[in-house]
Homo-oligomer: A and B are copies of this chain.
Amino acid sequence: MHLLLPGPTPIPKPVEQALLAAMTDHRGGAFETVQNRVLNGLAVLLGTDSQEHVAVLPASGTGGLEAAVQNLFHPNDRVLVVESGLFGRRFGEVAKAQQLKVDRMELTWGEALRPQAIMERIGAAPYRGVLVTHNETSTGVLNPIEELGGLMNQLPDPPLLVVDSISGVPAIPLTVQNGIDVIVAASQKGFMCPPGLAMIALSDRARSAVLVERAGRFYFDLWPYLKGQLPYTPAISLWYGLDAALQLLQQEGAEARLKRHQWLRDMVRAFGEAGGLEVLVPDHWASPTVTALGLPSSMNPSQFRRHLEQKGLQIAGGLGEWHHRVIRVGHVGAIDVGDLWAGLGLMAPYLPHPQQSLEAAMRVASIADQPRLEREEAL
C-alpha cells in the first residue's frame, strides 16, 4: 500500500530493522546507551543543548499535549488557545479538561494565525500561557510560530508559548529558542517511526516553570524524565526505531529536509490546481507536510478515497468543517518524489483534468538539485 497520509507514514528500512532489536532490560546498561543517544539527538534537533530539557513519553501525541498542560499550568491558570483548526481545538479541550481557564481565539479554517493579533490579546489580559498549533493537520496551514515567538520574546514577562508541533517538527524545523518555550512532537510523522511515542522539549524558562506539585498529575509527571529516569516501562522497540530515525535525520540535515518537504508540497499543489481541484490554502501559509484539496461537487471524497484504496493508495479525508468536500494528501517523513509520483499517478485519472495535473507536477519535479532522503542503507 502506498501511503500519502499526514501520519502514520512509511517506515524506512533502517528504522524497521531497529524496531526488531531484541527486547532488553530497560534498566540495564545496553538500553541506557540508546536512551542517552536518543535524548541527546532530540535535544540537538529541538534546539536545547541538554538532555534534561527533553522527555520521551509512552503515549501518543495527545498524551504529550496533556503532559505539557499538566506540568506547566495549575487549575484556573488563564491561557489563550489559538484554534486554527481541529487540532487547535483539541489542544483547547486538553487544557479545559485540566481545569485551566481557556480563552479561545478561533481562526477561519484555512488561515494562519496573525502574530500581531495574538500580541494584542496578550496585551489585554494576563495569560500564563499561549497554546498554539505549529502545523495544523486539518487544514494544511503552517503557522508562523517563530515570528510569534520573536514578538513575545520582547515582552518583559511573556506567557509561556506552548507549541503542538506533532505534524510539524522535524519535517519543519522548530527549536525551543527565541521565545518558543515548549514543543510537543510525536513519533509517527516526520520522525518516520510507528506511532506510540510523544516527545517534549522545554526552553530554560519552561523547565524552570515545570510545577513541583500538581493535583491530578502522575503518569505524565515530567520530573523523573527530566532527571534522566524512565519511570514506567518505555516502549523499547519504538526507542530503537527512533534511535535509527534520528541518525537518518541527522544525515539529511534540517535545511535539506525542509527543502525536500517544500518541494513535495509544491508538486502536490501544482498537481491539484492544474487537475481541477481547489487548493485551499494560499502559498504563503501552505504546510510543507500536508495539503488539503477541495474536490468539485461532481466528486465524492469518500468514494474517491475508496477507489484509490482499491488501487493501492491511502490518502486522508477532510476533517471537521472540511469533512464533506476535502481530501488531504500527506507528504511527510520518509517520502521521496517516487512515492509522490506513485500517488499522483493513481489519483490523476479521477481528476477533471488528468493530463494537465501530471504535466504540472512534472514541471515542479524536474527542478534540478532537489534533495533526496537516503533511507535504504543499513546502519
Q: Which residues does A use to contact B, with CB under 8 Å?
A: 1, 3, 5, 7-11, 16, 19-20, 22-30, 58-63, 66, 93-94, 97-99, 186, 188, 194-196, 215-220, 231-238, 309, 314, 316-317
Contacts and interface: CB of A to CB of B under 8 A. Distances in A.
- Could you say how many copies of this chain the assembly holds? 2
Given A66-B218, A188-B233, A195-B233, A24 B3 contact: yes
Residue of A10, A62, A196 with most chain B CB atoms under a 10 A cut-off: A196
Nearest to A198: B58
Given A58-B60, A59-B59, A233-B61, A5 B25 contact: yes
13 contacts: A1-B24, A5-B25, A8-B236, A19-B19, A28-B309, A28-B314, A60-B234, A62-B219, A66-B219, A94-B218, A188-B236, A194-B235, A196-B238
A195 B236 contact: yes
Nearest to A17: B20
Contacts of A316: 25
Given A26-B8, A98-B218, A215-B99, A186 B62 contact: no
Nearest to A314: B25
Nearest to A235: B196
Given A20-B16, A23-B9, A23-B11, A196 B58 contact: yes
Given A8-B25, A59-B219, 12 more contacts: A1-B24, A3-B24, A7-B233, A20-B20, A29-B309, A60-B232, A62-B218, A62-B231, A97-B218, A186-B233, A196-B237, A219-B220
A268 to B, nearest CB: 17
Nearest to A7: B233
A167 to B, nearest CB: 11
A299 B1 CA distance: 56
B58 A59 contact: yes
A20 B194 CA distance: 10
B28 A8 contact: no
Identify which of A219, A316, A317 gathers the most chain B CB atoms within 10 Å of its CB: A219
Nearest 5 interchain pairs by C-beta = A196-B235, A97-B218, A216-B216, A194-B237, A60-B232
A138 to B, nearest CB: 13
Nearest to A195: B233
A314 B309 CA distance: 45
A318 B29 CA distance: 17
Contacts of A11: 22-23
Contacts of A97: 215-218
